[in-house]
A and B are shown apart, each in its own frame.
Chain A
């Protein structure tokens, strides 16, 4: 319990909006099959393009499927894909980064050059190029996005690994004759994974965006599995008559991304002091007022 305390303290400092949005996304994504009120792929051609009704809270799409259920299931699709992408990308990135940070020398140079090239090409283009060569499909999408994503975690974990390796206690371990395996698995890897996890979480919004974009382009998640980007492109031909079906999935995706972006922004360091909030200013003024009295008494 005591070990959890700092984690909670850190959680408390994060913006509440971000926590709520991300929590909602995680909850909906994890328990979607139980939360969705109706079967997301049940078609009813008699009830197409409905507005909100008691039976369909957010209406139905052009095939008469319940939009709310589809939105909820889409959260699950998104969460699973994003999770897989990030886990694969992080595993590769951390492995490459720690090896580079442990070995330095030409291994480091080579890996970081590859990372540089990877980072300089937009991830969508990398992913599309891979899909274009291998052919579309769910796992192609996940692999393609992982390929586009690992350089980022590779660079971060290399930086963390280098700083860990230069710490005195690692030097001491080496002098004492600890095996490279022990240093690598016992000290370097755990330290790096922790730091990279934080960045990966903040990056989840961009990954969700990429999944949705690929699905929007018809190269990611294929119908009938609901996914926000794919729902949007599905409804696009009916934009004029039924804009709701375009706007709802767009809003859901935007909200999720906003949550992660706020989180990322709050993690990024801000070195410039902000002006005092009204509350701290008042507190300080009271503090100072106490001094003045003390002095005049003396």
Chain B
């Protein structure tokens, strides 16, 4: 157990290191003279002298390895350099932005889990009957509707027509509802299928015959025998979906005027502000790695078979 956790932690550290390499090379390999670009972004005329000054300023002449080491050292301390566009610290309001995105992802994960479980169980209770078909149809619709369209519909339905929830800003809990639901629709659809198919598979396994032979009813078998068997699978799928939510945040945050990491990343991409892109990308990659670590540990806790392999 301890052995597994320490091994898994080391693995995560290696991945983090690789992620930092990816982020660094991506920016270094950008086409064109970065110094010229920055000079132009700052609104100055790119005279050779000014470009040279910029190049000196951002350390373009140092060897790559030195630049990487310097950048990584700063990044670990939470310093992501200076924005090429605004000239301000990239990390200035990062903590606040991470809080916003964190609120979005955590809330959406909870909504997606609840919706996914409810829809999945609805289908598993009455397989191939009306509730199952409804659940299946909703899942197909949820998995096929573009997130930005969901968001637009949410705003139109609940904010414009009925004025139940505000359509923009990161205020109190009522302003969280629409973004949460918008982000949760796609993962909920996917998770409901995971639950439905997982339960059906579990219900077809031999130990269910044993459970039937005990005289247990269908409901009892679903909850006592089938459910514990799909929990590890569900956690895995939830982890994947939570990872994907970073991508959804990029779409949804601007839509609801939330100033989160996703919004920051998009701004960085739009204005080719490499330092911002780099910082956000590193945050995203680190997030995936941490989520994967948590998922693996959670599976370890819930599946005695995996536990056995590592103990």
Residues of A within 8 A of B (CB): 117, 120-125, 128-129, 131-136, 205, 209, 212-213, 216-219, 229, 232-233, 236, 239-240, 243, 246-247, 250, 253-254, 257-258, 261-262, 265, 271-275
A94 → chain B, closest Cβ, in Å? Answer: 24
Known A-B contacts A117-B18, A132-B274; the reply to A275 vs B128 at CB < 8 A is yes
* B150, closest chain A residue (CB): A250
Contact A219 B269 (CB under 8 A): yes
Contact of A272 among B29, B160, B201, B285 (CB under 8 A): B201
Contact B156 A132 (CB under 8 A): no
Known A-B contacts A246-B152, A261-B144, A274-B128; the reply to A217 vs B250 at CB < 8 A is yes
Q: Which of B42-50, B52-60, B95-103, B241-249 touches A?
A: B241-249
Residues of B within 8 A of A (CB): 18, 22, 26-27, 29-31, 127-128, 140-141, 143-149, 152-153, 155-156, 160, 200-201, 204, 243-244, 246-247, 250-251, 254, 265-266, 268-270, 272, 274, 277, 281, 284-285, 288, 292
Contact residues in B for A129 (Cβ distance below 8 Å): 26, 269, 277, 281
Contact residues in A for B146 (Cβ distance below 8 Å): 209, 212-213, 216, 229, 250, 253-254, 257
Contact residues in A for B153 (Cβ distance below 8 Å): 247, 250
* A128, closest chain B residue (CB): B269
Contact B26 A133 (CB under 8 A): yes
- Alpha-carbon gap, A172 to B86, bound state (A): 66
Contact residues in B for A272 (Cβ distance below 8 Å): 200-201, 204
Known A-B contacts A125-B284, A254-B149, A274-B128; the reply to A205 vs B155 at CB < 8 A is no
- Alpha-carbon gap, A272 to B147, bound state (A): 32
Contact residues in B for A212 (Cβ distance below 8 Å): 146, 148
Contact A122 B27 (CB under 8 A): no
* A275, closest chain B residue (CB): B128
Known A-B contacts A133-B27, A257-B146; the reply to A120 vs B269 at CB < 8 A is no
B34 → chain A, closest Cβ, in Å? Answer: 10
Known A-B contacts A213-B148, A246-B152; the reply to A218 vs B270 at CB < 8 A is yes
B258 → chain A, closest Cβ, in Å? Answer: 15
6 CB < 8 A contacts A-B: A117-B18, A129-B281, A217-B254, A217-B266, A247-B153, A272-B201
Total A-B Cβ pairs within 8 A: 116
Contact residues in B for A236 (Cβ distance below 8 Å): 152
With most chain A CB atoms within 10 A of its CB, the pick from B27, B149, B204, B266 is B149
Contact B277 A239 (CB under 8 A): no
* A268, closest chain B residue (CB): B197
Known A-B contacts A125-B246, A275-B127; the reply to A261 vs B265 at CB < 8 A is no
Known A-B contacts A128-B269, A132-B268, A133-B26; the reply to A216 vs B281 at CB < 8 A is no
Contact residues in A for B274 (Cβ distance below 8 Å): 132-133
- Alpha-carbon gap, A136 to B269, bound state (A): 9
- Alpha-carbon gap, A205 to B268, bound state (A): 28
Known: A132-B274, A257-B146. 11 other contacts (CB 8 A): A121-B285, A122-B244, A125-B246, A133-B31, A133-B274, A239-B152, A239-B155, A240-B160, A246-B152, A247-B152, A261-B144
* B31, closest chain A residue (CB): A134
Contact residues in B for A131 (Cβ distance below 8 Å): 269
Contact of A258 among B144, B160, B281 (CB under 8 A): B144
Contact B152 A124 (CB under 8 A): no
* A239, closest chain B residue (CB): B156
A114 → chain B, closest Cβ, in Å? Answer: 11
Contact of A254 among B145, B160, B272 (CB under 8 A): B145
- Alpha-carbon gap, A237 to B143, bound state (A): 26
Contact A122 B270 (CB under 8 A): no
Contact B247 A232 (CB under 8 A): no
Contact residues in A for B272 (Cβ distance below 8 Å): 132-133, 135
B257 → chain A, closest Cβ, in Å? Answer: 12
Contact B144 A250 (CB under 8 A): no
Contact B149 A250 (CB under 8 A): yes
Contact residues in B for A122 (Cβ distance below 8 Å): 243-244, 246-247
Contact B30 A125 (CB under 8 A): no
Contact B144 A213 (CB under 8 A): no
- Alpha-carbon gap, A135 to B30, bound state (A): 10
Known A-B contacts A122-B246, A131-B269, A261-B143; the reply to A233 vs B155 at CB < 8 A is no
- Alpha-carbon gap, A250 to B250, bound state (A): 19
Contact residues in A for B269 (Cβ distance below 8 Å): 128-129, 131-132, 219
A264 → chain B, closest Cβ, in Å? Answer: 10
- Alpha-carbon gap, A253 to B160, bound state (A): 23
- Alpha-carbon gap, A216 to B18, bound state (A): 31
Contact residues in A for B148 (Cβ distance below 8 Å): 212-213, 216, 229, 232-233
Known A-B contacts A122-B243, A133-B30, A246-B152; the reply to A216 vs B144 at CB < 8 A is no
- Alpha-carbon gap, A133 to B277, bound state (A): 8
* A131, closest chain B residue (CB): B269
- Alpha-carbon gap, A212 to B155, bound state (A): 19
Contact residues in B for A233 (Cβ distance below 8 Å): 148
Contact of B141 among A134, A136, A219, A258 (CB under 8 A): A258
B255 → chain A, closest Cβ, in Å? Answer: 8
- Alpha-carbon gap, A151 to B39, bound state (A): 37
